[in-house]
Amino acid sequence: MATSSYRFSIGPWNLGQGADPFGPPVRPAVPFDAVLDTAVSLGFEGIQFHDDDAVPDLETLTPAQVVKQAEAMRRKLADKGLVAEFVAPRLWEHARGIDGGYTSNDPAARAWALERSKRAVDVALALGTDLIVMWPAREGTAVRESKNPIEASRQMLAAIDVILGAHPKIRIAIEPKPNEPVDHAFVPTIGHALALGARSADPARVGVLIESAHAILAGLDPSDEMGFALAAGKLWSVHLNDQNGLKFDQDKVFGAANLRGAFDQVRVLEAAGYAATGAFVGFDVKAHRTQPADKATAHLATSKAIFLKLVEKARSYPVKVAEQCIAARDYEALERLVLEHLLSC
């Protein structure tokens, strides 16, 4: 299988303006059409959407108007040879989602979150995708005693069922993250996500999106998280990136902090035949604040180039020698084999 058989995707937030909690934007906003052109020029076929990336101001529109605008977006994508990968209801930026959506302590906010998620389903279908990504950003607490975790778990499950109920074809990929913006999130790992999915009204339609950095922030190995989901046939998308230990979510270039860890992720995707499933490889990376606008796409190009080099490394891995090391239980020799393979040209 050619390395090019992987399908790559990006979201408009991966072309950000460089703001961080201590400084304002330093680059002009990238117009949506320029996002699409960048995707095409870098060889990305899929576009990831928040619901309001696809239909700006969707809160002010009727459901019919929302669908009409999403259909127009689908035509715009098709004109450029692009497709929509998924739609994520962006509950965390709206004022009503300040305390979370599905798990807010305000019943009116909870009702809003469910309605907004149903609109996101409309947007997804009109864009031609059946995949909803659920990143439960503010579904958690900063003050632990402010929410009841038993009730919150039930509310998360009920939200999944509402989204599944919105259309018989719709699938949900839960993207767990243990913290940020909240201190403790209610669905922090892939295990939690799959357990919720298994209890949903239609487990076959609930899977996961694994982001490397989110697994690392949970103290877990991303390739093992992927392996767990792949064994269950539930890895429906990935956000590859990197993360230097336990701190704020860095969204570094894939492989930038731990090249061996990146290799292990590619290896497990290769072993499972991920490319053949048709699922996308996304890079949830952001350009450093220091980058000027004309160099603020390099993080995407580099992530993709490193991924493809690691695919070659996975395919040229000396499997027979590795098997001999394993059979002899000589894991020191295996360690050296892996390191030398990564260093070889």
Closest distance to Mg ion from the beta carbon of 280 (Å):
12
Q: How far is CA 232 from CA 199, 216, 229, 273, 305, in A?
A: 15, 21, 5, 14, 29
Whether 1 and 275 have beta carbons less than 8 Å apart is answered as yes
Q: Strand 46-50 to strand 206-211: parallel, antiparallel, or no bridges (unpaired)?
A: unpaired
Closest distance to ligand GLO from the beta carbon of 268 (Å):
20
Which of the residues 20, 51, 52, 53 is marked catalytic? 53
Q: Which is nearer to ligand GLO, 205 or 313 (CB)?
A: 205
Whether 261 and 241 have beta carbons less than 8 Å apart is answered as no
139 binds, among ligand GLO, Mg ion, none (CB under 5 to 8 A by kind): none
Token pair in block for residue 84: 């929509």
Select the span of 21-29, 48-56, 223-231, 280-288 touching Mg ion (CB under 5 A): 280-288
85 binds, among ligand GLO, Mg ion, none (CB under 5 to 8 A by kind): none
Token pair in block for residue 118: 């149903």
> In the 8-state DSSP scheme, what is residue 253?
P
- Please give the residue ranges that form the binding site for ligand GLO (CB under 6 A): 13, 88, 133, 135, 175, 177, 211, 239, 249, 284
Select the span of 104-112, 149-157, 254-262, 284-292 touching Mg ion (CB under 5 A): 284-292
270 binds Mg ion (CB under 5 A): no
**For ligand GLO, which residue has the nearest CB?**
88
Q: Which is nearer to Mg ion, 247 or 320 (CB)?
A: 247
Cα distance between residue 253 and residue 2, in whole Å:
23
Cα distance between residue 118 and residue 39, in whole Å:
28
Closest distance to ligand GLO from the beta carbon of 53 (Å):
9
Closest distance to Mg ion from the beta carbon of 186 (Å):
17
51 a catalytic residue: no
Whether 214 and 178 have beta carbons less than 8 Å apart is answered as yes
Type and span of the H or E element at 125: helix 107-127
Q: Which is nearer to Mg ion, 85 or 284 (CB)?
A: 284
Q: Which is nearer to Mg ion, 90 or 239 (CB)?
A: 239
Whether 1 and 37 have beta carbons less than 8 Å apart is answered as no
Closest distance to ligand GLO from the beta carbon of 317 (Å):
29
Cα distance between residue 208 and residue 192, in whole Å:
10
Which of the residues 50, 214, 239, 299 is marked catalytic? 50
53 a catalytic residue: yes
Closest distance to ligand GLO from the beta carbon of 23 (Å):
19
Among 117, 250, 284, 304, contact with Mg ion (rule: CB under 5 A) = 284
Q: Strand 131-134 to strand 184-185: parallel, antiparallel, or no bridges (unpaired)?
A: unpaired
133 binds, among ligand GLO, Mg ion, none (CB under 5 to 8 A by kind): ligand GLO
- Helices 331-343 and 319-327, axial angle in degrees (round to 10): 160
Q: Which residues ranging from 227 to 246 are in contact with Mg ion (CB under 5 A)?
A: 239
Whether 249 and 217 have beta carbons less than 8 Å apart is answered as yes
Cα distance between residue 329 and residue 10, in whole Å:
41
Q: Which is nearer to Mg ion, 66 or 208 (CB)?
A: 208
Q: Which is nearer to ligand GLO, 113 or 314 (CB)?
A: 113
> By rule CB under 5 A, what string of x and - marks binding of each residue 185-224 to Mg ion?
--------------------------x-------------
Cα distance between residue 279 and residue 240, in whole Å:
13
Cα distance between residue 262 and residue 243, in whole Å:
11
> In the 8-state DSSP scheme, what is residue 58?
G
Size of the site for Mg ion (CB under 5 A): 3
Which spans of this chain sit near Mg ion (rule: CB under 5 A)?
211, 239, 284
Known catalytic residues are 50, 53
